[in-house]
């Protein structure tokens, strides 16, 4: 079976939001216990037989694992926004400040991006940023321009100028620094190192070496093999995970296609060698039946990110499913520790098997990447889609261009999923000519506020017609109807499994916003961190037709080719209650001046019900009431030769109801051979709206059947 066959054979299993929450509950208990029992300035590394952690001090310059425990605490704060987790995270982060000056190791990314990196992302405190920039400079000092690598492992006298695949994980410190005020050359260093890793560590079949040693004077390769793997020509599993994760991360920062190709190559090799339960042996070529859960955790987290970057939908889904298979295994009783027998989350981790160190134990870095994968899953609980857009802190990154053609009256629809507990996040619209750099430039704003509710900008302040709370990791459907000429907009929200709720009824555009003639730009602005919420399936629908005070004024041409049996479908939204509104059809040659010209028409009548004209009078096969600001889907089957029609209406959240069963055309209407005109008439302009009107020839299954 090939790689793709192996992927297809393992669909996603039982891992879901409930499973994620169970893992987080275990993590909360274990991390709180570890924090209570661990001296500040000491950092867990691996579990011991007595149920405690082996600890590493903050000032150990060669050790590489000190950042993972504070990183876990920051992930708990990210998930809950609870101040006690923030306090714990800060308490164990700040003692690592001295590592920013450490030039003895290549592992500063492991130590500081997991601790200070998360701290800065979640707090925006400039103190954390400055430590990271200083540390990036320390790491850059280890770059050898002759070979194009970050040198590692000064502690090993047998190596001359060594490179290991672990360093791929540390490149993020350089890439982040170059993007956040540091030297631009740090990005070049990181990319050169990644390219040399691709050239010398990744084998043609996608497997990997662990170590390459170079002559520092000539750059010639002196050795390729392993230090922690089974054999020089084998593939050490966790080292291979560092390449899957590392190439993915470098692609995130650089968008260099060589990095994506490399990530795909090492990923497909790994998946082709993976055991059925999704957790690998500690070396992919070892004969020893000894699993390593830390590898599975790092790979699962990497695949959830990589699935967003791969170009085709099938591969996106396969990678996402494989990640869930791994998380399903790791959250099972076989690997998840739920008792105090181990202080860590994951059992069966392997640190250094050749040295017989940390074999079949809990590993702090395995736990960290497991929790990171859980958080990534919570932000994306289904395979990624090309229609997914994520909120950003910066206005430039948060802005999406919608074009300049969305003028007049427009209907907007999308799904929004808050990804954190409480937000203060805004979704807004501006003209295509506006360069958005501030909230004041947005005419329409929908907010998920810090109190846990949706609200909408109405002139100079936020308000809501009805109270609509939001919950993290739940998806809400939003519908917005905007009249650019009138400077007004209305918003409806449909909660998961619920019915549509009016959130804003004809609110005024933001006071003082620039002029807006089109819906040209959409801004998804985070409140606290990037990726606070996700918008999916955003679409602007131009076919929005408001009713008019007069049949002639409300008439639109549909063309002259709609003959035979036709199916008309549309949504209708009454904007007031009650009203006297008519939706009717006439021949393309008819001048519509009144009801008598409409051979086919339905009505929103003054009594608050839908009805339709049946030959000589209004009637209804069933009682279908309407209310203001609710949307009803209408389906009509019109048989022009037989001069009869049927109408079905689907109320919000309900089933389709037959309103008119083979009603006859209006008896005194002009001859009607085609559906050439539609008229939307009300007493005042805009008392109802028709959206998404379509006409299509009917199939036999959808044609009305005349009654006996």
- The catalytic site residues sit at 107, 166
> In this structure, what token pair is assigned to residue 664?
């006859």
Helix, strand and coil in the chain, % to nearest 5: 30, 30, 40
Task: Answer for the pair 368, 27: CB distance below 8 angstroms, yes or no.
Answer: no
Measured distance CA(176)–CA(172) in Å, rounded = 6
How many residues are present in the chain? Answer: 708
> In this structure, what token pair is assigned to residue 546?
């408001």
> In this structure, what token pair is assigned to residue 148?
């194009």
* C-alpha angle 97-101-107 in degrees, rounded to nearest 5: 85
> In this structure, what token pair is assigned to residue 601?
């028409």
Put residue 51 in one of left, alpha, beta given phi > 0 → left and psi -120 to 50 → alpha: left
* C-alpha angle 697-698-703 in degrees, rounded to nearest 5: 150
Measured distance CA(234)–CA(79) in Å, rounded = 39
> In this structure, what token pair is assigned to residue 501?
């709720």
User: What residues pair up with 586 in beta bridges, in sequence order?
Assistant: 677
Measured distance CA(256)–CA(443) in Å, rounded = 37
Alpha-carbon separation of residue 560 from 164, 599, 669, 672, 695 (angstroms)? 72, 15, 18, 11, 12
φ and ψ of 648, to 5 deg: -120, 140
Measured distance CA(116)–CA(359) in Å, rounded = 29
Measured distance CA(563)–CA(14) in Å, rounded = 52
């Amino acid at each position: 079976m090939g790689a793709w066959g192996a992927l297809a054979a393992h669909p996603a299993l039982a891992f879901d939001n409930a499973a994620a929450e169970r893992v987080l509950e275990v993590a909360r208990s274990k991390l709180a216990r570890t924090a209570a029992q661990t001296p500040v300035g000491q950092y867990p590394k691996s579990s011991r037989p007595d149920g405690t952690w082996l600890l590493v001090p903050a000032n150990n310059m060669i050790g590489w694992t000190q950042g993972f425990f504070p990183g876990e605490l920051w992930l708990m704060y990210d998930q809950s926004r609870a101040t006690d987790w923030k306090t714990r995270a800060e308490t164990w982060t700040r003692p690592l400040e001295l590592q920013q000056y450490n030039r003895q190791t290549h592992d500063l990314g492991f130590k500081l991006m997991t601790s200070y990196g998360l701290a800065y992302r979640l707090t925006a405190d400039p103190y954390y940023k400055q430590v990271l920039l200083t540390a990036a400079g320390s790491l850059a000092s280890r770059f050898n321009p002759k070979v194009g690598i970050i040198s590692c492992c000064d502690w090993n006298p047998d190596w001359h100028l060594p490179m290991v695949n672990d360093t791929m994980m540390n490149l993020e410190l350089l890439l982040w620094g170059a993007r956040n005020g540091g030297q631009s050359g740090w990005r070049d260093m990181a990319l050169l190192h990644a390219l040399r890793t691709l050239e010398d560590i990744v084998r043609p079949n996608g497997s990997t070496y662990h170590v390459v040693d170079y002559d520092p004077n000539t750059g010639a390769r002196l050795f390729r093999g392993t230090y922690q793997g089974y054999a020089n020509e084998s593939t050490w599993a966790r080292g291979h995970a560092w390449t899957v994760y590392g190439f993915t991360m470098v692609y995130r920062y650089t968008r260099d296609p060589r990095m994506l190709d490399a990530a795909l190559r090492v990923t497909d090799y790994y998946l082709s060698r993976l055991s059925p339960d999704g957790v690998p042996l500690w070396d992919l070529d070892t004969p020893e039946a000894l699993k390593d859960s830390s590898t599975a955790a790092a790979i699962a987290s990497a695949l959830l990110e990589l699935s967003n970057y791969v170009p085709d939908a099938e591969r996106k889904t396969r990678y996402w499913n494989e990640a869930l298979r791994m998380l399903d295994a790791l959250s099972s009783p076989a690997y998840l520790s739920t008792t105090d027998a181990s202080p860590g989350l994951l059992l069966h981790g392997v640190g250094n098997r050749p040295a017989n160190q940390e074999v079949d134990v809990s590993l702090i870095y395995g736990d960290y990447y497991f929790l990171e994968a859980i958080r990534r899953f919570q932000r994306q609980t289904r395979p990624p889609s090309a229609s997914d857009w994520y909120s950003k802190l910066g206005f430039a990154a948060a802005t999406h261009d919608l074009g300049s053609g969305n003028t007049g009256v427009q209907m907007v629809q999308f799904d929004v999923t808050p990804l954190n507990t409480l937000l203060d996040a805004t979704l807004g619209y501006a003209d295509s000519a506006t360069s958005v750099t501030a909230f004041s430039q947005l005419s329409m704003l929908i907010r998920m506020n810090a109190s846990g509710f949706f609200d909408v900008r109405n002139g100079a302040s936020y308000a809501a017609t009805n109270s609509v709370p939001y919950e993290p990791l739940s998806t809400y459907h939003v519908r917005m109807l905007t009249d650019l000429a009138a400077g007004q907009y209305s918003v409806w929200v449909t909660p998961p499994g619920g019915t549509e709720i009016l959130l804003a009824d004809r609110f005024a555009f933001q006071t003082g916003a620039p002029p807006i003639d089109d819906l040209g730009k959409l801004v998804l602005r985070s409140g606290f961190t990037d990726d606070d919420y996700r918008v999916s399936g955003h679409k602007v629908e131009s076919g929005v037709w408001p009713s008019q005070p007069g049949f002639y004024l409300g008439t639109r041409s549909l063309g002259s080719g709609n003959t035979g049996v036709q199916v008309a479908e549309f949504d209708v939204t009454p904007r007031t209650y009650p009203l006297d509104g008519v939706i009717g059809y006439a021949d393309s040659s008819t001048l519509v001046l009144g009801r008598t010209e409409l051979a086919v028409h339905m009505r929103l009548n003054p009594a608050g019900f839908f009805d339709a004209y049946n030959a000589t009078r209004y009637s209804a096969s069933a009682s279908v009431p309407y209310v203001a600001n609710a949307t009803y889907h209408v389906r009509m089957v019109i048989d022009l030769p037989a001069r009869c029609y049927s109408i079905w209406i689907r109320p919000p959240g309900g089933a389709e109801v037959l309103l008119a069963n083979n009603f006859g055309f209006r008896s005194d209407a002009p001859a009607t051979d085609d559906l050439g005109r539609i008229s939307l008439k009300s007493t005042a302009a805009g008392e109802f709206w028709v959206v998404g009107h379509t006409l299509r020839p009917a199939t036999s299954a959808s044609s009305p059947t005349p009654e006996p």
